[in-house]
Structure 1
């Protein structure tokens, strides 16, 4: 499904609403499920004055020639889109059903006015079931009291194996394990891949991640965790896949940006809120 933005193309350099001649990835959020700083925490990172240590819940926006593609709708979505001056989202991909990845969905409510249609949501059946339960009012058959009183959404089913097209770009799903009870999807577009919330990647999925220019990968903290890679585990995956560059995301308050960034291999970096990467290899 594609959609065009009414803003003129020559405004794209300064207006993130407009189509992007060269694809760009914007890291809207790079933090763990409670964010950084965590409420009530007085650790050095949560009290840090380094803006790189302020991390909202995980999401990225990919600016494409045919529109803005959002991955996940975290609870901080409104703040993130305002901060990055993003005025329109054309389509959404969902990695999984957890609260820190879907509970900003209502913030999409304004976009159908500008799109002239419902916002398309691409997700697996388990995510659709959670959305339909958590946002049952969005799918009510009752007549609206006024335009925009509930989100206008179109759910488009995806699965673990079949590539699909969004906004003119081919997307390859990458199944990932998120602890013993949950499966999530990473996504590959061209030579870019986004893999958050995982602590195990099967050989089949590793094969889907070979030959990358840029890999974004979960790395919660230094010590082991039952549902996320830690820093060392993420580095092992990066060493095997050998992307040209890698960025670590879903970072907790164990990770002090400056010292940890300085300790990483030259081609590996910590992602941070507001980071922008040109990604010509996506198209």
Structure 2
């Protein structure tokens, strides 16, 4: 399986509009981060996790010509608001499959009412094949997907394990029984917002402690804000086997 980091930034991205912070002014491409998302590819299948406000740009940058499904983690704007930009895929290939918690589906129907209308539907709107998922394994094209339930302060969020790869974002706490689902995972992606503690996200110290507990062979940090620091400086200080992800990084699992 190939994984492409489409975006590795937090809700405002980096640079933040109008910011004079040194990281926002950095000329290093690795310090420029679109909103968080990944593309998973196996055999002839392409699935994305989340589609935020930079979805169109991410698809163009990576020359993605089709998607077979979208896995949603939760309903915050930086993870869903690019949904309308699945239209070119729909026009070429038909219905797009989406997978999300029932609560997230309800939020999508509220924010994108025109997409889910049955009667008098606007002909330019995409059609979606809706799959409500719970905290139990399911399949996409014969690939087993294991949801990982995490808490984003008081909001439930799904991470996902596929084979020996696991992707977790917007986590602050994770129950022991959910951590057990990660046993034996070889590549772990997890959020690390900044140095200072945050009420709903792992900071760097918490993310590293979580990685140490799971003990993957390799870990990548994502959902990064400018307050974490310059990419190269932070990367140089990370433990062996732990890396900062960056936009358009590709890895093989």
TM-score tier, shorter chain, comes to: over 0.9
Name stretches of at least 5 consecutive residues in structure 1 with no aligned partner. Answer: 1-22
What does residue 276 of structure 1 align with? 250
SS of match in other structure, 1:227: coil
Counterparts of 1:184 and 1:145 in 2: how far apart (Å)?
31
Counterparts of 1:127 and 1:253 in 2: how far apart (Å)?
28
What does residue 85 of structure 1 align with? 63
What does residue 7 of structure 1 align with? none
SS of match in other structure, 1:197: coil
Cα distance per residue 1:155-210 (max 9 Å; x no partner): 101001x100012210000000001x201000001110000000111101110112
- TM-score (normalizing by structure 1): 0.87
Retained in 2: the 8 A contact 1:66–1:167? no
Cα drift, residue 142 of structure 1: 3.5
Pair 1:268–1:145, CA change in 2 (3 A): closer
Q: Does 1:266 align with 2:244?
A: no
Q: Does 1:133 align with 2:106?
A: no
For 1:229, which of 189, 202, 211 is the aligned residue?
202
Retained in 2: the 8 A contact 1:74–1:105? yes
Retained in 2: the 8 A contact 1:198–1:229? yes
Cα distance per residue 1:29-70 (max 9 Å; x no partner): 000000000011101100000000000000000011141011
What does residue 145 of structure 2 align with? 171
For 1:98, which of 76, 86, 97 is the aligned residue?
76
Which residues of 2 match residues 235-250 of structure 1 at below 5 A? 235-250=208-223
Counterparts of 2:126 and 2:230 in 1: how far apart (Å)?
38
- TM-score (normalizing by structure 2): 0.97
Counterparts of 1:73 and 1:91 in 2: how far apart (Å)?
11
Pair 1:145–1:264, CA change in 2 (3 A): closer
**Higher mean C-alpha deviation, range 137-146 or range 119-128:** 137-146
What does residue 28 of structure 1 align with? 6
What does residue 209 of structure 1 align with? 182
- The alignment yields a C-alpha RMSD, in angstroms, of 1.0
Counterparts of 2:29 and 2:174 in 1: how far apart (Å)?
31
SS of match in other structure, 1:82: helix
What does residue 15 of structure 1 align with? none
Cα drift, residue 145 of structure 1: 5.3
What does residue 33 of structure 2 align with? 55
Counterparts of 1:93 and 1:68 in 2: how far apart (Å)?
11
Q: Does 1:251 align with 2:231?
A: no
Counterparts of 1:188 and 1:130 in 2: how far apart (Å)?
24
Counterparts of 2:100 and 2:44 in 1: how far apart (Å)?
20
SS of match in other structure, 1:235: helix
Number of residues of Structure 1 aligned to a counterpart in Structure 2: 252
Cα drift, residue 253 of structure 1: 0.3
For 2:125, which of 146, 150, 162 is the aligned residue?
150
Retained in 2: the 8 A contact 1:66–1:168? no
Cα drift, residue 241 of structure 1: 0.9
